[in-house]
Every structure is written in structure tokens, then in C-alpha cells.
Structure 1
Amino acid sequence: MSSLKIESIVLDYSRCGESPVWEEKSNSLLYVDIPSKKICRWDSLTKKVEEVSVDSPVSSVAIRQSGGYVATVGTRFCALNWEEKSLSDLFFVDKDKKNNRFNDGKVDPAGRYFAGTMAEETAPAVLERHQGSLYALFPNGTVEKYFDRVDISNGLDWSLDHKIFYYIDSLAYSVDAFDYDVQTGKIANRRSVYKMEKEEHIPDGMSIDTEGKLWVACYNGGRVIRIDPETGKRLQTVKLPTEKTTSCCFGGKDFSELYVTSARDGLHPDELSRQPEAGRIFKITGLGVKGIAPSAFAG
């Protein structure tokens, strides 16, 4: 086992960094800063960050097969032309809920873009309960609503055989699983596969590795944990130098590096002085496991 190394790679701070996605063809890490309304791309070769500013909180970004990206902005699924720095709307959701916004999103193995909503927070993780829903934008442009009464729609990923959909509603303090039909996108049989321990706090973003284990960022817990969804056991804990860890993805040339986003919003000045790297993006090497390439939206 090589030795574990944690370093911050992007020296700019995010108020709330989220949705890290590794793009192989550009050797870059995509991510968003939700309240700053920015979609960012960090080039691992030049170490430079490019940004696109948008008009509403932007909560997730994903690669698009036909070129460019897709993103969830406000309560809209959008297409992003990176060269022109322009957004075009694909679909609006939650039109009857003026106080809602999208949160985390990810593309399934068949190219559907799943993303869920939540009420706008009055403070981090403080919000009107049960206002969110889970949606998917299908490659043909239609949107399906899966369920509602969600608190904070968060991490999502699929098992390596594509038969299980993993999902986090943060305030349930649980990682859940559904049976998944990758042909149709249908889900069934919701159950909990991991209950958070008290010191792990709030489950946030999530990513699967090549052994089928899940890496979950623990908001307010200052760590990512590796869990076995089959046994419900935690296998590993990696602590980070800031407590508001928000999401994670594998990247690098062989997907052996774990990139972790974090937030500054909600930390008091004395807390910030104790964790000066809050809001940075961290790269963890030496984990001894690899991830898989992200799926791209097929529409």
C-alpha cells in the first residue's frame, strides 16, 4: 500500500464547491461553486482554472457526448457551450416551488442525467423539509420525476453491473439503494445500505470505485468514508483538513486519484482560522483503489 497523500490543488476558494467530474480528454477536473454561480474547469497540466458564470445557483455539471457539458442551474437542466461560455435551457422543473433549486446530479450508465431538488437553505443544511424531488433528463429531452418529499437530494451513483442505483437524501443520514433497470431507467425496492455514524455527520456527494465500494463525502464530518454497500460496513476513513467536505470523484490518468470538494460558507471566522484550506479542492493519492470514468449525457 503506497502512503496516503492529501494536497489542495486549486488555490482559489469555493464558497460551496460541488459536483467534481474528471474529464479524460482535457485532463481536467470540472466542478461548480453553488452560491457563487460558477462552473469551473481545472486543467491538471497547466494548473489553471477557467470559469463560466451563470445566472442562478449551479449545483452539478456533467459531460455531454455530443460535446460541451450539461448542468443544473436553479431549477433548470441546461446545456453549456464551454467555448462560447453560453447556457441554453433544456427543461424546467419544480415550477410551483419558487423557493427550490437543484442540488447534486450525475449521469447514469445509459446517458440519462439524474438530479434532485431541495428548498433553498436559510443556513447550511437548514431549510424547509420535504420540498425536493428526484428527476432524470432522458437523452430524448423528456424529464421523468421519480419521487418527491426529499429534504436535500444529494450523492448518486450506480453499481458496476448497473443493477443498483445508490442515492443520498442528506437529512435521512443514510445511503440508500434501489433496484435499477438500466434499459428503462426504472427504480424499485428502496432500502438503506449504510447508516451514518454520529461523527460522520451529513452524507453528501458520493462516488463508486472499481471494487464496487462507495466513497461518501461527510459534510460537517471533515472526511470521506469508504463503505461496502453489501455489508453496510465502513471500510476506511480519510480525514481532510476542513470539516465541510461536500463531494468526491476519481480522476487522474488512471482514475487512481480521489478529488474532494469542500465549502467555506457556514464557517465562523474562528473556525476558518483553524481550517484555512476550507473551500479548497483536495487530491488524495495512495488510496490503492481506482474509480471509473464518468458517464456522459447522451442527449
Structure 2
Amino acid sequence: MWAGHLKVTAGYIRLCNLLREIIHVAFSRERSTARYCTTMSSIRIETVVKEKNRMGECPVWEERQNCLVFVDINSQKVCRWDSNSKEVQCVPLEARVGSVALRKSGGYVVTVGTRFAFLNWGDPSLTTIAELESDKPNNRFNDGKVDPMGRYFAGTMAEETAPGVRARRQGALYTLFPDCSVLTQLEEVDISNGLAWSLDHRTFFYIDSLAYAVHAFDYDIHTGKIDRCSCRPVYKLEKEEAMPDGMCIDTEGKLWVACIDGGRVIRIDPETGKRLQTVKMPASRITSCCFGGKDYSEMYVTSATDGLGKVALTKEPNAGEIFKITGLGVKGVPQQYFTG
């Protein structure tokens, strides 16, 4: 691993932006307008949250409220969609919020800026638990998830200082334990993203987005520690799949990965390293996914508008919406609660 800066010329930036516009225009020709709903064989995709998210992320199904909780990172808010009333409620926060997780005692635990905090939805009020990375003012938390024993894992990343310019290897992966102590699990991370645990709890799956791959680590469920030396690749994304973002796991032990700028969610067998299924979505910037619904047979998928130019936005009317996929033929593992 190395640390430094990725630098590009102004001409290169203009070329990349032009290519992105061309890709999104071509991409959008396959997509319908208005409220999106389509059926592919037995699979059905529909919009459930029409409000646009600049950077929708970290969907979590809350069974006790029968709702979907998610964040809009760049709008600095945590939101909750009620599957019965179809209403969306949001709590604005004072900094970018990278992730949200359920708390067993009620409310939520969130990552805001570079700190862990408890969020009481009723007030609403925010209580800081721990502040990290004070020496890295350009960093923020990104994705997070609770492990099978109630520990909250969340990682950081460096923000871009200019289009196409980002300090490399500035992030880390942390664990917030129920006693509110914090452990550094991994360092020199680029963009800490998707997390999942195998069904036997012995393997931790992880995405550092700029590696363009899913990796696996041996995991000690009793101590909550990752074996750094056991890192191994599970799946390397193909060019058309673009960059991996959020991730979840189903009851068959297969991984589902959201592909940002790839406009799809893919299903991977972590044992064979093979892609088993591709579900193309009605937006290109697909950010994360989770299972939910009364029997966890529905998949909820977040997306983003940030990163799309004016032309692409006109061609992608469903960008930034939240989608529900049914008919996948598999069920997901219920969300875990932070026990602190």
C-alpha cells in the first residue's frame, strides 16, 4: 500500500466528464420515465421513495417499525420511509452522515462527520459517543453495519479536494463496541464501503471501492477482530460493473453488491468467486442495497444524483430514488441491532 495524491490534468478531467455524460445518455435510453416500474421475468423493480437523494446510502430495514431507514450523505440527513403510510420523515444533522444502524434499546447509532453518535428519533437529538481522526479534517465516515454480536463497524474516507483529486489511503475501518470503546481494524483504506459477514460468522466481507473488488478476512466472532493477514480477493468487478459500493448477504450465503456508475446490483458466490446474477436498475449511480419486508424477500436499493451532469440528469429521471426489487427468489438476513 502507498500514500500520496492522485493528480490529473484539467484536460483529463474535462475528457472524463464528457465520457461520463456520453455513458449516461446511452444508459438512459434503456430506462423509462415517470414513476419507475418494470418486470424482468419474475423480477419486478419499482420506485418506493420518489424524493431525490443527492447520495442515498446505507438502507436498513427496521422490522419493529416496518420501515426503511437510510441516509442522504450529502444532504446531511437520516430518513425513514414507512412502508404502510408511504411517508418519508427526515432528521437533518450538522455534518455529512455516512451510515445509520438500529439500536437495540431504541433509536439509532450513526456516523456523522468523523464521529460515532446516538440518534434519538423522537426529539430528535444527537449524542456523541466518540470522535476520531481529528488530524484528518478532510475525512468523513462512509458506510457502516452491525455485526452478528451487536458491534458497529464503520469506515472513513477522504473527500475529493477537487474533481478527480483525492488523497489516497487516508481512511480506516473502525469498530464501536457495546461499551462504547473503539477499535481500529484496518488502516490505509481509500473508500471504506460495503460490509457483510458469512452465515457461520467466521468470514468478514469488505469493499474498499478503489480496489474494484470484494475481499474476505478471517473473523473472530468472539473478540470482534479481523485477521488483517488473512485478506484475500473474492470477486474482481468487470469493466461494465464499474465500482463496488454497498453490499448485503442472503440466506444462501451469497453476496449482493451495488455497482455505482454500473447501474446494477450483482449477486456473487463468495466460495467460487463467480457472478451468479445481474439485476439492471433504472439509474446508473446505484449505491447500496438491503433485504427487507415482512419476510425479507424484498430488496431495497438506494441511488444518487450527485456525480451526474445536467444532460445525464435529464436522461435519468429516476436517479436519486429508492427502489424495491421483488421476485428475486431469495431472502435476506435480518439487520442486527447495536447492543450498546
With normalisation by structure 2, the TM-score equals: 0.86
Query: 1:270 deviation in Å?
Result: 1.0
When residues 81 and 33 of structure 1 are mapped into structure 2, their CA distance, relative to the original with a 3 A threshold, is same
Identity among equivalent pairs (%):
66
Unaligned regions of 5+ residues in structure 2, if any? 1-39
Q: CA RMSD in A?
A: 1.2
Which one-letter code corresponds to 1:202 in the other structure?
M
Distance 1:244 1:65 in 2: 32
Taking the TM superposition and a 5 Å limit, the aligned residue runs for 1:52-63 are 52-63=91-102
- Asked if 1:241 is matched to 2:299, the reply is no
Which one-letter code corresponds to 2:54 in the other structure?
R
Match of 2:168 in 1: 129
2:210 to 162, 171, 181: 171
When residues 125 and 20 of structure 1 are mapped into structure 2, their CA distance, relative to the original with a 3 A threshold, is farther
Match of 1:183 in 2: 222
Distance 1:262 1:14 in 2: 7
Aligned residues of 1:111 and 1:298 also touching (Cα < 8 A): yes
When residues 192 and 265 of structure 1 are mapped into structure 2, their CA distance, relative to the original with a 3 A threshold, is same
When residues 197 and 63 of structure 1 are mapped into structure 2, their CA distance, relative to the original with a 3 A threshold, is same
Aligned residues of 1:224 and 1:239 also touching (Cα < 8 A): yes
When residues 174 and 93 of structure 1 are mapped into structure 2, their CA distance, relative to the original with a 3 A threshold, is same
Unaligned regions of 5+ residues in structure 1, if any? none
**DSSP-derived class of the 2:64 partner:** helix
**DSSP-derived class of the 2:240 partner:** helix
1:216 to 227, 251, 257: 257
Distance 2:59 2:164 in 1: 20
Taking the TM superposition and a 5 Å limit, the aligned residue runs for 1:27-38 are 27-38=66-77
Distance 1:268 1:241 in 2: 17
- Asked if 1:159 is matched to 2:198, the reply is yes
When residues 123 and 245 of structure 1 are mapped into structure 2, their CA distance, relative to the original with a 3 A threshold, is farther
Distance 1:272 1:3 in 2: 29
Query: 1:138 deviation in Å?
Result: 0.3
Which one-letter code corresponds to 1:134 in the other structure?
L
Query: 1:292 deviation in Å?
Result: 1.1
* Number of residue pairs the alignment of both structures matches: 299
Match of 1:268 in 2: 309
Match of 1:253 in 2: 294
When residues 178 and 51 of structure 1 are mapped into structure 2, their CA distance, relative to the original with a 3 A threshold, is same
Distance 1:39 1:84 in 2: 14
Taking the TM superposition and a 5 Å limit, the aligned residue runs for 1:1-299 are 3-122=42-161, 127-188=166-227, 189-299=230-340
When residues 42 and 124 of structure 1 are mapped into structure 2, their CA distance, relative to the original with a 3 A threshold, is farther
**DSSP-derived class of the 1:128 partner:** strand
Query: 1:2 deviation in Å?
Result: 7.0
Which one-letter code corresponds to 2:325 in the other structure?
I
Aligned residues of 1:32 and 1:38 also touching (Cα < 8 A): yes
Greater Rg, structure 1 or structure 2?
Answer: 2
Which one-letter code corresponds to 2:58 in the other structure?
S
1:198-242 Cα distance to aligned partner (Å, 9 max, x none): 110100000000000000000100000000000000000000011
Distance 2:324 2:194 in 1: 19
Distance 1:108 1:215 in 2: 17
